[in-house]
Structure 1
């Protein structure tokens, strides 16, 4: 039996596939939904609703940005706890045995066959379909811009995080540089480079796999999730990020 049943559908979703804008928004941690085959992974309902299972608010913000930018949105429909699609299969973080202070019993001691089953069911469709979308855009003469959207918890291992928005990059900082310059001019949010995570934490896998490997402009956005708990906050932050992204694209295209 596979990880996903036929009734559970495709592991990835694509919205606004015929978008005229050049941005492809990617949300790897959009959902806290678990496949029925894995049960609860031994976690409580509270843990499964928390940041360890998904990025709260990230999909809502991504949808608002996609609407404003006429961008395509590509996202994972199942929880990062089953497979974190922003990690390669050989990374321990792809199927974490522990996430922050929570042990994940259902991920403890997975054998090679179990890891392979999750990789085939969740990661490979995500990677391959996103790669195909990027190739198609390039072939059409519309080289895309890869923008991944995430949220992070305000308190991590008991420590409060002051940063509100993170603009992250790997080896190509051009778009991030321009967005950070726009953020400095705006001043509404505490916006920082490569915080609360950076490339050294292994969080730029999607950027490397689909952006850097194709020579495409790319950036990763992190939003503190207390800012986007409700629709009003989501709209404010989406508007702010859309403005930064437009300014960044304008500056890098000159």
Structure 2
């Protein structure tokens, strides 16, 4: 893959996957699973109006601008699918009940009810599979070049869910590999005004860690998922502030990876 700011690869099967930046750049790979609320032709319709399609149920508002700024600051490539999660959620296994959801929060998704098998298959082959194939191809290319790949998935979450306020400003999500997460927790402990969620508002047990389980943990790569409350990244200045903060914290975490392991008795 050469440097690009468009589709990943060549051909219609990758037309909805966007790669921005140099594939070989830096030590990080930035992912944004829910970057877009776009509904491309040929995959059916969720059956919702424009107002609902602007809500968090259709995408992660603010996540893509932050991911773009973060990728630029870290000199990293950014990959994301350019289609709404209401067509198919690229951060869920294809056999998960909410892969093609019929209800999101308290909103029914009429276009997904009784979805014909051929349309579901088209969403898998046209959106889900090309996205994950592009991640694999990028990581394979970086591995062949001897590059480090720390995977960072950028998401956003709604401040109120089913009537319950969420107090966190940033959620740091991790699974078996908590190397990056632990460093981020240490950094943000020095910022008491920032409320940090430890596997909040979600955790891997909620089925939200699919992309990083498949591409990070399966390869033994350091990985972390970042959930930013979307009312805190609604404007360009706020997006820039969060990108700068996260870039500094992630750079420190990357340096920590180079430190020799400390035996338990020496802590």
2:257 alignment partner in structure 1:
252
1:105 alignment partner in structure 2:
110
CA distance in 2, matches of 1:38, 1:136: 30
Verify the 8 A CA contact 1:19 1:70 in the aligned structure 2. no
Q: Map of 1:173-212 to 2, 5 A cutoff?
A: 173-212=178-217
Q: Number of aligned residue pairs: give it.
A: 249
TM-score (norm. length: structure 1): 0.94
What's the secondary structure of 1:237's corresponding residue?
Answer: helix
Match of 1:90 among 88, 92, 95: 95
What's the secondary structure of 2:225's corresponding residue?
Answer: strand
Give the 3 Å change call, closer, same or farther, for CA 7–146 of structure 1 in structure 2: closer
What's the secondary structure of 2:200's corresponding residue?
Answer: coil
Unaligned runs of at least 5 residues, structure 2: 1-10, 260-267
- After the TM superposition, which of the residue ranges 236-245 and 38-47 deviates more from structure 2? 38-47
Q: Map of 1:138-217 to 2, 5 A cutoff?
A: 138-217=143-222
What's the secondary structure of 1:50's corresponding residue?
Answer: coil
Q: Map of 1:1-254 to 2, 5 A cutoff?
A: 10-38=15-43, 40-254=45-259
Give the drift of 1:206. Answer: 0.7
CA distance in 1, matches of 2:138, 2:48: 35
CA distance in 2, matches of 1:137, 1:8: 22
TM-score (norm. length: structure 2): 0.89
Give the drift of 1:39. Answer: 5.6
- After the TM superposition, which of the residue ranges 29-38 and 83-92 deviates more from structure 2? 29-38
What's the secondary structure of 2:190's corresponding residue?
Answer: helix
Verify the 8 A CA contact 2:43 2:123 in the aligned structure 1. no
What's the secondary structure of 1:129's corresponding residue?
Answer: helix
Unaligned runs of at least 5 residues, structure 1: 1-5
Q: Detail structure 1 runs of 4+ shifted over 3 Å in the superposition.
A: 6-9, 37-40
Verify the 8 A CA contact 1:33 1:78 in the aligned structure 2. yes
Give the drift of 1:114. Answer: 2.5
Verify the 8 A CA contact 1:38 1:106 in the aligned structure 2. no
